Amino acid sequence: MGRVVVGVTVGLATVACAVAAVVVGGRMRSRGKWKRVVRVLREVEEGCESSVERLRQVVDAMAVEMHAGLASEGGSKLKMLLTYVHNLPDGTEKGTYYALDLGGTNFRVLRVHLHDQQSSVLEHEVERQAIPQHLMSSTSKDLFDFIASSLKEFIEKEGDGSELSMDRRRELGFTFSFPVKQTSVSSGILIKWTKGFSIVDMVGVDVPACLQEALIRTGLDVRVAALVNDTVGTLALGHYHDSDTVASVIIGTGTNACYLERVDAIIKCQGHLTSSGYMVVNMEWGNFWSSHLPRTSYDIDLDSESPNPNDQGFEKMISGMYLGDIVRRVILRMSLESDMFGHVSSKLNMPFTLRTPMMAAMHEDDSPDLREVARILRDILEIPDVPLKLRKVVVKVCDVVTRRAARLAAAGIVGILKKIGRDGSGGITSGRRSDVKMKRTVVAIEGGLYSSYTLFREYLHEALNEILGEDIAKHVILKVTEDGSGVGAALLAASHSFL
């Protein structure tokens, strides 16, 4: 009997040891998986590091590339396109002006009435209309006759007490969001179509001239006064409200910037004189590149798999089109390194499944259990039942990617200010001069990434203060504008109507 008891006891002990070994082994494997997740996170944090020293290197690189792009065509990754806009609206404009905004498969027509007062920009009417599919591959005559007819209908609705008559000449600002080589304030040659258009007879042709001919055929006495890029429209709108506005930045799905440059600093257009001595330069800064940009393996993979590899490098690190996909790629890497996220779903493997608005919603989820993070992981990426500590890791990834983007955008803005002597350095390469008197400097900003994403905006402002120092930064004001491509285009028609 004693032997049986001893045998049972020994057997139970053996089972207990085995169970303990399984538990300990499970814990060790779990810890190993967790360490792999943390290691990926640490690598991302290190790769995205944007110290103030590095940001100042980016500032200097941006200013250098701007100089190079102004010196010669093709001299820089920055195109530094001449817009021939040299007379920005300042609030003294008066009258009714029009805008046509053609940016994709829809177009808008606007009417803006100006009362010679900066605060009284009134949009009387805005209409949006789809472009029929067959016109996107038809002829230039067919497309612009359709647009001109729509504009005529829009103008004919004015009536009802309006002081305007159909026989009065009108001025129009034309926002055309396709690659164009601008040759004057109101003319530009189409380089190529994008966004699904393929009208062969328009490539290499003056786009505003095609519109002007269609307006004449329609019987409208409307002059195309300005060919406008949406970023330039944002600058015009900002300058109308505040004459200290010297630059504009769009940070939304895509990104770009433009600014007011001295004509004598634009070497590639020597001999071109303007009444103001200045010209707006469209930087196309999405294509900026520098070895000082904190690039990770995720950025390299995203770029190589994109339709435009080795192009728009800056845009791919800071704009809303790409931030969500960078986060998705990091989560995918964590899932492959460790099965803590469960089976790798097909959605997690699919590029651009996680859009930036969803990423921002996860980043700004302030619920104790991060329920919005759990919902997006489940519904968008098909990753169910993610434990809270992993949800916290996902939020951290969103934070790292967003913080880098905002800080680099801030460095880009300071690069512009440095080029025009508004960064407090007096034009020197590094450091600050105490004898430089700072002017009030306004930068107009448009785009949902800045206006709607609170943490992005806060990180951008924080970086501006770090780079410039508080004494200088207090003179730099970022002002949100809305609808530069519409209202801004009409304002440019007003400021160039008698030139």
Instruction: Point out the residues that are catalytic.
Output: 108, 177, 230
> What count of other Cβ atoms lies within 10 Å of the Cβ of residue 177?
16
d(CA 499, CA 492): 11
What is the torsional sign of CA 209, 485, 476, 324?
A: negative
Among 441, 443, 424, 423, residue whose Cα is nearest residue 433: 424
Strand order in the sheet with 94-102: 121-130, 106-115, 94-102, 170-176, 222-228
How many whole angstroms separate alpha carbon 265 and alpha carbon 495?
A: 23
Nearest C-alpha neighbor of 266 from the set 254, 257, 256, 278: 278
Closest alpha carbon to 419 in 441, 435, 403: 441
Please report how many Cα atoms fall inside a 13 Å half-sphere around the Cα of residue 312, on the Cβ side. Answer: 17
Of 150, 158, 153, nearest in space to 125 by CA: 158
The CA distance from 43 to 218, in Å, is 61
Identify which of 186, 171, 6 has the alpha carbon closest to the alpha carbon of residue 97. 171
β-strands 170-176, 222-228 pairing: parallel
